[in-house]
Structure 1
Amino acid sequence: MKNLSFLATLSIAAVIAACGDNGSSADGVDDTISSSVESTIFSSETNPSSSNDNSSSESSGLQEPKGSFTDSRDGKIYKLVKIGDQNWMAENLHFADSLIYAFDDAQKVCPENFHLPSLEEFQELVDFVGGLAKASKVLKSTLGWPNGEHGDWNGTDDFGFNAIPIDSGDGGTDENYWTSTHDYHNYKTGMMLKINPYPTSKFRCNKSADSACFLNAEPETKISVRCLSDISTCGSEIYNNRTHFCQNSTIYPLCRGRKYDAGKYTCKDQQLYSIATDSIYKYSWVWLNPEKEYGLFQDPRDMQFYKTIVIDSLVWMAENLNYASEGSVCFVNDSMYCDLYGRLYTADQARNGQPEPQDNRIVQGICPDGWRLPTAGEFRVVIDGNHPEVSVYAKIIGYDTNHEMYDHENESGLSIVFGGIHETEPTLWNPEWEGLNRDGGIIGSNFEFDVYYHYFDGSGWSMKLSRAENVRCVKNL
């Protein structure tokens, strides 16, 4: 388990919040780029909605669970409690004689019509009960916690959540709950809500018995699971939170599996459109530098739009290519990651089967007509003195919902983000999927700019033929 408390004071937002107008305009595409990168954030859910109806009609026939629930798999009965608009199991899951679960098992262990809550959904709970500073006190059970030389660590259980103490195995008392959210810095690890343990425990949020926090944990760590009902309330209506969301007491469908600011955008055919201009907005534009002026290009092969930026004598795509060529993949084969990071290509796929040139000859590769892969020399110029953290890296690092920022400046506006690595020939030391938002690479005509943990001094330029990474395209002015 890793004690990384960078999310301890995280305020989770569930919408895209776009403001300001800093881009060039084009018919049919929303050019609204946030004037504050930190305010332009987004969330992801697991089941995209196929509905475009932003009414509450989806709630017809749904019933809100009340009182208790019987798990049809083993007949166990669980008490339920409504806290805010959420319907929670009021006790820990106890399926297949297990009270604690590894991360992968936790993702799939909840019964039908319930699910493992995301970090965002736990944050909604925490916010409703008064915030992280007091969440432990009001969520913990009134009995069973230590009461001795370090004081009374029992809770008040104000909302009926009944977080009971669990022996941590290291001489202390804990209660930790898996979320369904992967760690933003390292896809391998998962996030958990920690109900602050007794002072002698190895891991704790701080010295207060009242506070809770979000930490990450290694996936093999076994901790508790609380399941959340798929049914929530929105004003006087009920809805399925796996396909819809609530904003200002109105129910809206998720768009491409995500929430959005329904006051600014509408979802049509699983694509966001600006209400003000009836123009397209892409989730990937969250990475852009709001102080830069961007152009716009539409790929005639699949009609996708890309923001572009002029740097010296070249026009660069300011986002990773997302053209679905044969063999290309999304990270962990999930299209939601392609929405944000583009697709992953091997060097051979990026060059479209052309041999690697030994000089700066032009290679169109997978890029659209009129565009081409950049050369190593061209990319080195943009990096500007081996400082990509100043010149090209995007600031935001989260791929779901968060305010986390690297100390990057993105002065060029190129807005490099890392969509991870797909190892086409995985080994024990090189897993199939690696490094989302942590490391990855950009494949050019005669180079592969490969970065470890965003640190340039750990990067390389040589081609790795079995790896699939991101592609950027350029063209001459």
Structure 2
Amino acid sequence: MKTSKIQILCGLAALILGACDFSTAEEIAEEASSVSCPKALVCPDSLEAETICDARDGNVYRTVQIGSQTWLAENMNYCMNASWCYDDGASNCDVYGRLYEWSSAVKACPDGFHLPSQDEWDSLAAYALENAGDENSSLRSTESWDSDLVTPGNDVLGFNALASGRYYFRAFSDLGFKAYYWTRESETTTTAYIRTLSGMINTMGFGNSFKDSGLSVRCLKD
């Protein structure tokens, strides 16, 4: 009876204010995470050395060999649902790549590449520490870091980690200060493991984040 009264009242309100919204929480979340993607490009007939082209949208990425691993030397910028440009600015995607929810991050890498595991991130850190003297500055770019507050990296290994920030609790933060990367491994149904790089410490950080956070994606060759 109570439901019928609510529906009647809603029907009356619709005549005055417009239609009532019976969207579910899932539908609202899906609408909020949907994005408008630019027109896909076609991969060029030839590529420069140490680059790959994502056949899905024509974006070209630099690669770098670090020890036995081949990484993309740029953050992923494949447009898909549940991903954002920092501050919703398309120009930020051009520079920093997109920020992905974990459910999108595990599908974001181009053919022949994958979202790295914790062990694969740890192998990168171990190689950097042994061969470049640290597992932080040697991986961070010489640009994009707020030099007034944090020390830019030296990027001697060419990983080119950018201070791309994150999307967390519906707010963008830490641009210029910190890089957040997903691993492919879940911790719980709502959290997954991550790796971080910051100008405030000299190690690679680790921890977890809610899966609906927006973090960067770096892809590793299969």
Same fold (TM > 0.5): yes
Residue 193 of structure 1 is matched in structure 2 by: none
Residue type at the aligned position of 2:141 = A
Residue type at the aligned position of 2:93 = C
Q: Does residue 464 of structure 1 match 2:203?
A: no
1:309 Cα shift?
0.6
Greater RCO structure (CA 8 Å; 6+ sep)? 2
Counterpart Cα distance in 2 of 1:299 and 1:325: 14
Residue 174 of structure 2 is matched in structure 1 by: 435
Residue 367 of structure 1 is matched in structure 2 by: 109
TM-score by length of structure 2 reads: 0.65
Residue 388 of structure 1 aligns to a residue in which SS?
Answer: coil
Retained in 2: the 8 A contact 1:418–1:470?
no
1:397 Cα shift?
2.7
Structure-2 change in CA distance of 1:410 and 1:310 (3 Å): same
CA-atom RMSD in angstroms:
3.1
Residue 184 of structure 2 is matched in structure 1 by: 445
Residue type at the aligned position of 2:180 = G
Structure-2 change in CA distance of 1:444 and 1:392 (3 Å): same
Retained in 2: the 8 A contact 1:302–1:323?
yes
Deviations 1:49-89 (A, max 9, x none): xxxxxxxxxxxxxxxxxxxxxxxxxxxxxxxxxxxxxxxxx
Structure-2 change in CA distance of 1:309 and 1:451 (3 Å): closer
Retained in 2: the 8 A contact 1:382–1:392?
no
State how 1:406-445 maps to structure 2 within 5 Å.
Answer: 406-423=151-168, 425-426=169-170, 432-445=171-184
Residue type at the aligned position of 1:443 = W
Counterpart Cα distance in 2 of 1:464 and 1:350: 13
Q: Does residue 308 of structure 1 match 2:63?
A: yes
Retained in 2: the 8 A contact 1:347–1:463?
no
Structure-2 change in CA distance of 1:295 and 1:405 (3 Å): farther
Structure-2 change in CA distance of 1:297 and 1:332 (3 Å): same
1:387 Cα shift?
2.9
Residue 224 of structure 1 is matched in structure 2 by: none
Q: Which has the higher helix share?
A: 2
How many residue pairs are counted as aligned between the two chains?
A: 166
Counterpart Cα distance in 1 of 2:198 and 2:151: 14
Counterpart Cα distance in 2 of 1:389 and 1:420: 16
Structure-2 change in CA distance of 1:458 and 1:316 (3 Å): closer
State how 1:293-304 maps to structure 2 within 5 Å.
Answer: 295-304=50-59
Picking from 118, 137, 142, the partner of 1:376 is: 118
1:454 Cα shift?
4.6
Unaligned runs of 5+ in 1: 1-278, 281-292, 352-364, 427-431
Counterpart Cα distance in 1 of 2:174 and 2:218: 18
Structure-2 change in CA distance of 1:403 and 1:295 (3 Å): farther
Residue 448 of structure 1 aligns to a residue in which SS?
Answer: strand
State how 1:25-104 maps to structure 2 within 5 Å.
Answer: none
State how 1:242-391 maps to structure 2 within 5 Å.
Answer: 295-351=50-106, 365-384=107-126, 385=129, 387-391=134-138
Residue type at the aligned position of 2:172 = W
**Whose radius of gyration is greater, 1 or 2?**
1
Counterpart Cα distance in 2 of 1:462 and 1:412: 26
Retained in 2: the 8 A contact 1:444–1:472?
no
State how 1:171-250 maps to structure 2 within 5 Å.
Answer: none
Counterpart Cα distance in 1 of 2:196 and 2:180: 4
1:325 Cα shift?
1.0
Residue type at the aligned position of 1:440 = A
Retained in 2: the 8 A contact 1:397–1:404?
no
Retained in 1: the 8 A contact 2:135–2:204?
no
Retained in 1: the 8 A contact 2:150–2:200?
no
- Show structure 1 runs of 4+ deviating over 6 A: 402-405
Give identity over the alignment, percent. Answer: 24
TM-score by length of structure 1 reads: 0.32
